[in-house]
Amino acid sequence: MRNSAQSLVEYAVFICILVAALVGMQIYLKGGIQGKIKTSAEQIGAVSYSPGATISDITINREVNEKGSSYEQEINGTNRSIYESSANTLQQTNRVENVLSVDQEPLR
């Protein structure tokens, strides 16, 4: 009975050490995979998207025309104040995005 309990504890310790080693290696594995993907993308010649290397220029022109008038009108023997209004809105948006190459990306 004592040997089986001891071997069970040894297996548990071994599994804990194995999991800790895998978690510690995760950073290196992740970096290696990302490096391989970047190398493959550079060989193809594709420009990669990067938030630090994207320059946006947005221009919004908005024109609002509003008219209103008020008057009194008798309805069923009661004077009522009436307000009528109308509004026209014209909006034009121009958006230009430039993506720099990975070589031109600013350092963070």
Instruction: Give 54-81 pLDDT, tens digit per residue.
Output: 667 778 888 888 888 888 888 888 888 8
| Assigned domain for 13 exists | yes
The tally of domains found in the chain comes to 1
The answer, as to whether pTM is greater than 0.85, is no
| Assigned domain for 64 exists | yes
Domain that holds residue 93: 2-48+56-98
For 21, 36, 70, the CA distances from 8, given in Å and listed in that order, are 20, 40, 89
Which tens digit of pLDDT belongs to each residue from 77-101?
Answer: 888 888 888 888 888 888 777 766 6
| Token pair in block for residue 52 | 């630090």
